Structure 1
Amino acid sequence: GPVRIARHSETGSVRFLAADVGQALSSPSLAAPSASPEQVARAFLAEYGQIFGIRNQEGELSLMRSVAGGAASTFVRFQQRHAGVPVLGGELVAQVRAGGVATVSGEALPNLAVDTTPTITPEQARTRALAAIAHTYKLDAASLRVSAPALWIFNPALLGGPGPRINTLVWRLEVRNESLTEPVRELVLVDAQSGRIALHFNQIAHGKVRLVCDAQGKGDTDGDENTSCDEPGEFVRGEGQGATGVTDTDLAYDYAGLTYDYFQISFGRDSLDGKGMPLISLVRYCPSASDCPYGNAFWNGRQMTYGTGYASADDVVAHELSHGFTEFSSSLFYYYQSGAINESMSDVFGELVDLIDGAGNDSPAVRWQLGEDLPPSVGVIRDIRNPPLFDNPDRTGSSLYYGGPQDSGGVHSNSGVNNKALYLMVDGGTFNGQTVAGIGAEKAGQIYYLVNNALLVSASDYLDLADALPTACRTLIGVRGISAADCEQVVKAVVATEMNKTPVKGAVPAPVPACAAGKVPKDLFFDNMENAQSGNWVFSSLNNTVQEWYYGSAVPPPLGPIVYATSGKSILWGNDYGLLPDDPNALEAVPTDYAAAMANGVTIPADAFLHFQHAHDFEIELGDGTAYDGGVVEYSTDGGTTWQDAGALFTDNGYNTTVYGVDQSDNPLAGRNVFGDVSRGYYASKAALTQLVDKNVKFRFRIGTDALNPLDQAAYGWFIDDVRVYTCVDRPTYRVFMPTVAR
């Protein structure tokens, strides 16, 4: 039968492969008749692993777990490794059925060639992680605790967030706080060669054993959100004990029980981890006396913590506890699209529990509201049926879809896409050109459970979810009455919410061709940066501090050499200069200003253009996106004596931000429009040179930084490749003569 295949938009490798319903991608002959599901999966990946980016499955894949699901299927999940080091987000799931492989999904980094010997020691990584998170949250580093560092390989391409698409050896750590109004459970990646912070984001997600503790609305005196919930003697209500008469305590107990029962009865799951994990709840919590009442609830990896009144909503309790289910199943990162799906999965199960548990207010007017039973002072949190009521998108193409860095990439708002899909699947409706017949809460729950428990991996995005939902449904045909007709409705819900399309916001800019169709470039100047001895560029400091431009092939250790190019292997690279706190070679903190300028000018004819490929990672304030550093393109018509900003010349993908105020910043580019922030890999920019006709012109790339580049914001700089000055001419035609052959 037909095979469904989808490729990863950045790696080019296959990310989803599925046989037709009831069929297999491989015959049982690939493995021995008595082979285990893992052996069947490995036999398939030994044969076809290269299309997923795996050259040697035996050496590159380690078993994470096997999960039974659906009609006689087993889902085998593998972790990608390189030289024994795991790859962040590099995971594959093979569905094994009847001795063959039915589907393979997930993602991997192909053709890895990363030096796995770190320059930065584990202790240095700990120091830098602590310093970075202390700066981010304005905390004393002594109030933080950090996990043991472990080596991983990281490339932002798998997680879908911004950043240079470079395979990087990192130390992975988790930093937690001892005292903070908003708790911190920060995943931190420290570049194991340079010591820079490659990535950090907060992972706190705002037999039946239930344990409830009560902070009584008093301030947290020891700075630990586990206050009054550390020892058995501190529990005010345990499993099987009677009501206490304290509303928050009793509702937290009751609703935790309803959530446990839903997962146990519907899916046979014994608590969040499937192994009987106690459900610990701390109610009426306040971080400090001045923060009472505390307006939040969260899962911290160990327990639930509620501010006063937050345990009064059954869907909120189930929502937060479901973050624990996700942590023990798909392990979706709380970051960009995977984080939005993580958040939505909690909305999904929070609402499904709410719909069937008989508790709270489920009248038609509030049936799909999250938090309808919260105190009036808090109010409803989201609307699952109509996400835009709370400025959340209901499809990936919505103008409300958020593509920026705040809220870890919009995890709370962008959850609306899958929330809308849940509503359509359960109740049905007409939306975005699709008319969906509802399949009901029970069937939808079975599908979403299998998706989260078996099919999604830690870095899954909406494209992956768009494949996983129909796959789960087809796997479950015959289970709880699920039919092929139901799966058609699931597909319609996916199409209606456009999760099968890459979101426009936050995507890499569209390609910018050098010339229109039918035309080709005629170069006046071209450099692909492969020859570091070309003499095409002059590097200089403009304020007599540091000069930080290099050819990528000539970048000194530990940062280089840098192999990250759009053609060939080398580039022009400008460092975003910053001080690291334990760098013995660091200069006194000063603003810097340096440029890479063309050594020789080009006389500009009519209809000429400048075109180049670039990626950038400049220092910004993670909270509000304030740009501290950035780069500009300038030109000179007098041999380099004076320079003008080329910003007004750009026709495609010009400057994207502004360095913050002239009066507040010591950056030489303060107040100017620049290329700044962090791009999602390479993209092209193009400028029309009409106003420079008949002039001899030099161009230069210039970087300006302020005096301070805090460790949590230390950035990688500007990557530039394939610079050309050119005109466009008609594409040549070639006449082909075929010789006459006589016999």
Structure 2
Amino acid sequence: MRSRRLVGGLAALATAVSGSALVAMAAPASAGSNTSPAFARTTPDAVVQQRGNDGSVRVIEPRGGAIARPKGVAADARPETAAKAHLSTYAKAFGVPSTELKAASATKLANGSAVRFDRDVDGVPVFAGQLVVSLDRSNNLQFIVGETGGKPTRSFPSVGKLQANKFAGVAKQVVATREKLGSTAGLKVRSEGRNWYDGSILGVPGAKGVQPVYTYQVGDARRALQYRVLVDASTGKAALAYSLTERALNRVICDAKRRVDADTTCDGQANPYARVEGQGPSSVADVNKVYDFFRDTSVRYASYVNLDLTKLIGTDYGDGKGKALRATVRVCTSDPNGCPFANAFWDGQQMVFGEGVTTDDVTGHELTHGVTERTANLAYLYQSGAINEGLSDAWGEIVDLTNGSADDTAANRWKIGEGSSLGVIRDMKNPRAYDQPDKMTSDMWFDDVDFLDNGGVHENSGVFNKSVYLTADGASFNGYTIRGLGLAKTAKILWTTQNLLTSGADYKDVFYTMPLACRKNIGQAGSYITEDDCQQVDKAVRATEMYKDPLVGSAKNVDYCTNGKSPMASYAENFESKSGGWTFQGSWVLSSEVGLPYATVGKESAVAWTSSGDDVSLTQKAGVKIPAGSYLRFDHAYLLAADDGAEVQYDTGSGWKPASALPNNNGEDTPAAELGGRKSFANTSNGFGGTRYDLSSLAGRTVKFRFHSKVGTDDSAWWVDNLKIYTCG
């Protein structure tokens, strides 16, 4: 089993939908409609569906023109009304009745509007279950994109106040465990209500159907630590937890003055004002840079897409300064090397900067996280998080390339972070220079098995970044020659795309949506976008292979038996709870306790979520007698830092011995310093694989086993599941 959902190449399948002829497409012959002029007629040649190979419809799109608005809907009717009428025909293609879709927002775009619908089942929203309906100016249908999730198989459980409070405690404990805080002291929790949760929408590994969950935000007073945690209302365990810290006219800038672990709120009380709108320069360079770069970013959004940035993402703390773009600079933390804090982030309300990272592209990047939060609201994990990061990189670089700063040189073009204390951290023109993939099948795709980067949000943004570079500047890449459109046209296409993507979007959604977003701008006054421009966008998303699945390393695996024989288990353990036959020592926990349910059997596995200095074991409580001809086999996944140790041991009554000495397949093979040179599993497993030991030499003896982890870093994790002792019959 791999640690990423592999949804396969998009292929359209024919399905009957009332009122339209739907045709099948064997392969993605084009990324969105390629009819010129776009959506010009209201009698399309056909209506097609684009599906993932999991069977779910992702796009409904007319070819050769738009779909006329339904009878009884006026050309000047509210977009929400028209979109709802279209969904009465087409919602069933997405597997849901139109009655479950509630209009959440309507955004005016070039040549029409985009109406976003949230799915709601029995009064409970489906987490990230959304459709976006694109309409022209006369309310004719241009396309529908999104994912709605599966059908709940039960009603939402009734939960009392006491149980809900317990769930909130679970959410805090998950964050404390994930972040290795030692306790929940200092963490605050806020309920976001009930949701249905289908992890397949987000591409969560091991997603298992639709779950009823209570959703919480958990953070600390500094707001430097923020998580969203989903707790299963049936089991009381975390179904998912992920960081919300997206690592920024009326301007208010505060100065934390290098105070460690201070509240970062810029309200004049937690931190003093250093410069507010209309005031002259401060004596602190970081204050002035952020003040100026807030203006640069606001000007660029206003001039390119007519967006009032302060109105969209500004915050009013009730301090008399009104709704403003706010930031606190020179923040320090108590973490190692935390002063100066070498990062910046949007905390959901304002910007927070460490000292020396106040550059134009970083500022534009982080403010765009706020824009994305208010538009597509892309979930900050896996491919949707990588797209989120890519949009921020793109807008940050657009600001950087157009504000006339001294570092806007040819050598720095498309580089992120130049001029900061961090130095260059990414290159949109050449992602591989900083170990990022530039296409979906790149060998640099990061299969983030232990969720160190929220599923690869920073690393895998390289695919989106490369497509933006190709669209703006043009180049020959991967068999395609693309004519660049320039920054202004690219910005308009990005803005339209931001408003059309749903929160659980992946790269396949971008593959279809970005060219359609381009075509939505054709004929719009001031856009100057042509059909030939949109053909270039089509080539850019094709060159970066967004319609393909990523190629990642395969885990080592081994069958239970050879020659077609079947295993007959004498002992089995799936680690579904801590009340079974194994002792969880120290940082050995259930996978749900770190908010990463990750398993090959059932919903749980055991995981060593270790910190530097840990020497801990998952130990069988009672020995088992080994039948003749037995094997021990288990599934496991790991990411192990150099010299950290992870080994299986056994005890026949005379002390623990390394199982690596037994005949094995895919056993420990690398000496580890933390184990005194004994053999250990090493590096990354690339998802769940299998290891098997031959227990013939232990036949007839009573034996206990344990999984032993001894580490000198905070960077290792080891999941174990589906253990069996068996013979082959």
Q: Same fold (TM over 0.5)?
A: yes
Aligned to 1:739: none
Whole-Å Cα distance in 1 between the matches of residues 581 and 259 of structure 2? Answer: 50
- The structure 1 residue matched to 2:531, chosen from 479, 484, 487, is 484
Work out whether residues 338 and 459 of structure 1, in 8 Å CA contact, stay in contact via their aligned partners in 2: yes
Consecutive unaligned residues in structure 2, runs of 5 or more: 1-44, 316-323, 583-591, 593-599, 609-616, 650-660, 697-703, 711-716
User: Within 5 Å, which residues of 2 pair with 1:117-516?
Assistant: 117=157, 121-139=163-181, 140-148=183-191, 150-178=193-221, 183-206=224-247, 208-216=249-257, 218-220=258-260, 223-226=262-265, 229-231=267-269, 234-271=272-309, 274=312, 277=315, 278-288=324-334, 291-311=338-358, 313-374=359-420, 377-404=421-448, 405-452=451-498, 454-479=499-524, 480-505=527-552
Work out whether residues 122 and 149 of structure 1, in 8 Å CA contact, stay in contact via their aligned partners in 2: no
Work out whether residues 152 and 210 of structure 2, in 8 Å CA contact, stay in contact via their aligned partners in 1: yes
Whole-Å Cα distance in 2 between the matches of residues 657 and 331 of structure 1? Answer: 44
- The structure 1 residue matched to 2:79, chosen from 12, 37, 50, is 37
User: Within 5 Å, which residues of 2 pair with 1:18-29?
Assistant: 18-20=61-63, 22-24=65-67, 27-29=69-71
Query: Over residues 46-65 of structure 1, what are the superposed CA-to-partner deviations in whole Å (9 max), with x where a residue is unaligned?
Result: 323222121x221x222211
Q: Under a length normalisation based on structure 1, what TM-score does the superposition of the two structures give?
A: 0.71
Whole-Å Cα distance in 2 between the matches of residues 352 and 229 of structure 1? Answer: 30
Pair 459,574 (structure 1): closer, same or farther in 2 beyond 3 Å: closer
Work out whether residues 19 and 102 of structure 1, in 8 Å CA contact, stay in contact via their aligned partners in 2: yes
SS at match of 2:331: coil
Work out whether residues 618 and 706 of structure 2, in 8 Å CA contact, stay in contact via their aligned partners in 1: no
Aligned to 1:565: none
Q: Once the 2 structures are TM-superposed, how far is the Cα of residue 111 of structure 1 from its aligned partner?
A: 3.0
Work out whether residues 18 and 102 of structure 1, in 8 Å CA contact, stay in contact via their aligned partners in 2: yes
- The structure 2 residue matched to 1:591, chosen from 615, 619, 633, is 619
SS at match of 2:491: helix
Whole-Å Cα distance in 2 between the matches of residues 596 and 678 of structure 1? Answer: 29
CA-atom RMSD in angstroms: 4.9
Whole-Å Cα distance in 1 between the matches of residues 443 and 256 of structure 2? Answer: 42
Work out whether residues 254 and 273 of structure 2, in 8 Å CA contact, stay in contact via their aligned partners in 1: yes
Whole-Å Cα distance in 1 between the matches of residues 646 and 400 of structure 2? Answer: 46
Query: Over residues 557-599 of structure 1, what are the superposed CA-to-partner deviations in whole Å (9 max), with x where a residue is unaligned?
Result: xx9xxxxxxxxxxx975964799xxxxxxxxx973479999x9
Query: Over residues 535-566 of structure 1, what are the superposed CA-to-partner deviations in whole Å (9 max), with x where a residue is unaligned?
Result: x87666799x96589xxxxxxxxx9xxxxxxx
Q: Once the 2 structures are TM-superposed, how far is the Cα of residue 357 of structure 1 from its aligned partner?
A: 1.9
Q: Once the 2 structures are TM-superposed, how far is the Cα of residue 620 of structure 1 from its aligned partner?
A: 6.5
User: Within 5 Å, which residues of 2 pair with 1:10-89?
Assistant: 10=54, 12-20=55-63, 22-24=65-67, 27-29=69-71, 31=73, 35-54=77-96, 56-58=97-99, 60-71=100-111, 73-89=112-128
Whole-Å Cα distance in 1 between the matches of residues 669 and 92 of structure 2? Answer: 40
SS at match of 1:39: helix
Work out whether residues 593 and 704 of structure 1, in 8 Å CA contact, stay in contact via their aligned partners in 2: no
AA in 2 matched with 1:350: G
Pair 594,476 (structure 1): closer, same or farther in 2 beyond 3 Å: farther
Pair 283,546 (structure 1): closer, same or farther in 2 beyond 3 Å: closer
Q: Once the 2 structures are TM-superposed, how far is the Cα of residue 601 of structure 1 from its aligned partner?
A: 11
Q: Once the 2 structures are TM-superposed, how far is the Cα of residue 659 of structure 1 from its aligned partner?
A: 14
SS at match of 1:121: helix
Work out whether residues 371 and 382 of structure 1, in 8 Å CA contact, stay in contact via their aligned partners in 2: yes
Pair 285,590 (structure 1): closer, same or farther in 2 beyond 3 Å: closer
Q: Once the 2 structures are TM-superposed, how far is the Cα of residue 434 of structure 1 from its aligned partner?
A: 0.6
Q: Under a length normalisation based on structure 2, what TM-score does the superposition of the two structures give?
A: 0.73
Whole-Å Cα distance in 2 between the matches of residues 473 and 269 of structure 1? Answer: 18
Q: Once the 2 structures are TM-superposed, how far is the Cα of residue 407 of structure 1 from its aligned partner?
A: 0.8
SS at match of 2:469: helix
Considering only CA atoms, is the larger Rg found in Structure 1 or Structure 2?
1
Work out whether residues 254 and 271 of structure 2, in 8 Å CA contact, stay in contact via their aligned partners in 1: no
SS at match of 2:195: strand
Pair 590,265 (structure 1): closer, same or farther in 2 beyond 3 Å: closer
Query: Over residues 241-273 of structure 1, what are the superposed CA-to-partner deviations in whole Å (9 max), with x where a residue is unaligned?
Result: 222243211111111011111112222212156
AA in 1 matched with 2:287: T
Whole-Å Cα distance in 2 between the matches of residues 104 and 91 of structure 1? Answer: 10
Q: Once the 2 structures are TM-superposed, how far is the Cα of residue 368 of structure 1 from its aligned partner?
A: 1.5
SS at match of 2:71: helix
Consecutive unaligned residues in structure 1, runs of 5 or more: 514-521, 527-535, 550-558, 560-570, 580-588, 603-609, 632-643, 649-653, 665-669, 693-701, 727-743
Whole-Å Cα distance in 2 between the matches of residues 628 and 115 of structure 1? Answer: 42
Whole-Å Cα distance in 2 between the matches of residues 115 and 676 of structure 1? Answer: 38
Work out whether residues 273 and 328 of structure 1, in 8 Å CA contact, stay in contact via their aligned partners in 2: no
Q: Once the 2 structures are TM-superposed, how far is the Cα of residue 160 of structure 1 from its aligned partner?
A: 1.0
AA in 1 matched with 2:83: A
Aligned to 2:10: none
AA in 2 matched with 1:387: P
Query: Over residues 196-226 of structure 1, what are the superposed CA-to-partner deviations in whole Å (9 max), with x where a residue is unaligned?
Result: 22221111111x110011123x223x63233
